[in-house]
């Protein structure tokens, strides 16, 4: 395989993910047609690999694409990013949807484990040190009021997002009284009660992308207890019942409900629904970042496929031999 682009002569780079085809930091493949390309980082043209170097590399690329959870897909093209930074472009029918619970739920699991660990430590300390109630209470308060816990007790909304034009500090009790719904025009709507407004409560309304941003920041506060493995399984199941993460977010918005508080469902979202919403928002954020590439990649694939179809039909041409000197 050549190491330079056949169109602009730029170096194609290398990767460590596909051992049997280490050329290129960005690879495209079509398993059904047996095509493999190295995508030039400079001109973005697709360089077709020789037939004899494709099949095992295509199998490796397909396996890695399926195992990678950071991916986005359209009807004909998918894109994924591997751990070493290699980008894979998969041509063909989209794979069944999966939710990366290990990726999007790790924050929930970490919060649960940290809380459980501290609770065990304090219980042990209280058992082995009789009369240490005040010390245990002091440690617990320090843990709750430390700088790392502050962000799990309140949310700061910058002036650029605030409908009031001024920064807002929203503590957890206020966020629990927030209502998540869908506006009449179909945009997401988040109504947050403003603290300190007395009996005639005022609300800050966030719509569209601002509503998504506020929700994404509020979820770690509302889900401060995290989730154990069983709770994670339930939350993942809720998201996977919908066609996509975006569809799940829309379903919750159409039902409407408070993000917390003493009310019972359906007026209040359940704990499982809140954990599922946090994962869905994280997945949707990363998917949108990848989706911007898909339309461009599909256009590049169609052009590259026309060239590849012609090239693969050409007969093998022996490599030219160097001239020989003939005496005489």
Residue that has been written with the tokens 């025009």 in this structure: 185
* Predicted pLDDT of residue 88: 93
Q: What is the spatial distance between Cα 295 and Cα 283, in angstroms, rounded to a whole number?
A: 20
How far is CA 322 from each of CA 2, 37, 218, 317, 328, rounded to the nearest angstrom?
20, 29, 70, 15, 19
pLDDT tens per residue, range 282-300: 877 766 656 656 667 777 7
> How much of the chain exceeds pLDDT 90, in percent?
20
In DSSP terms, which residues pair with 168 in a beta bridge? Answer: 157
Position 306 confidence tier, pLDDT thresholds 50, 70, 90: confident
pTM summary value: 0.53
Of 34-48, 65-79, 109-123, the range with the highest mean pLDDT is 34-48
DSSP result, 219-281: HHHHTTT---HHHHHHHHHHHHTSSSHHHHHHHHHHH-EESSSSPPTTTB--HHHHHHHHHHH
Give residue limits of the domains in the chain: 1-96, 101-285
């Amino acid at each position: 395989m050549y190491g330079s682009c056949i169109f602009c002569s730029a170096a194609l780079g290398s990767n460590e993910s596909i051992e049997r085809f280490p050329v290129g930091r960005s690879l495209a493949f079509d398993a059904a047609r047996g095509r493999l390309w190295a995508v030039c980082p400079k001109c973005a043209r697709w360089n077709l690999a020789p037939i004899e170097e494709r099949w095992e590399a295509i199998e490796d690329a397909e396996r890695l694409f399926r195992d990678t959870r950071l991916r986005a897909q359209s009807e004909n093209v998918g894109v994924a990013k591997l751990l070493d930074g290699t980008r894979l472009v998969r041509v063909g029918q989209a794979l069944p949807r999966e939710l990366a619970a290990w990726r999007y739920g790790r924050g929930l699991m970490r919060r649960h484990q940290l809380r459980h660990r501290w609770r065990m430590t304090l219980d042990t300390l209280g058992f082995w040190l009789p009369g240490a109630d005040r010390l245990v209470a002091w440690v617990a308060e320090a843990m709750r009021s430390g700088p790392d816990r502050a962000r799990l007790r309140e949310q700061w909304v910058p002036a650029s997002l605030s409908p009031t034009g001024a920064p807002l500090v929203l503590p957890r009790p206020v966020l629990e009284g927030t209502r998540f719904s869908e506006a009449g025009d179909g945009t997401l709507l988040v109504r947050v009660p403003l603290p300190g407004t007395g009996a005639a409560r005022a609300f800050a309304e966030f719509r569209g992308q601002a509503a998504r941003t506020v929700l994404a920041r509020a979820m770690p506060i509302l889900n401060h207890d995290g989730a154990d493995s069983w709770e994670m399984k339930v939350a993942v199941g809720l998201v996977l019942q919908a066609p996509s993460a975006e569809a799940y977010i829309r379903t919750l918005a159409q039902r409407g409900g408070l993000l917390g508080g003493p009310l019972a469902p359906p007026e209040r979202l359940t704990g499982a629904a809140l954990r599922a919403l946090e994962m869905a928002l994280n997945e949707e954020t990363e998917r949108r970042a990848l989706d911007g590439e898909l339309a461009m990649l599909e256009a590049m694939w169609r052009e590259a496929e026309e060239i590849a179809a012609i090239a693969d039909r050409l007969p093998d041409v022996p490599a030219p031999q160097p001239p020989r000197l003939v005496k005489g």
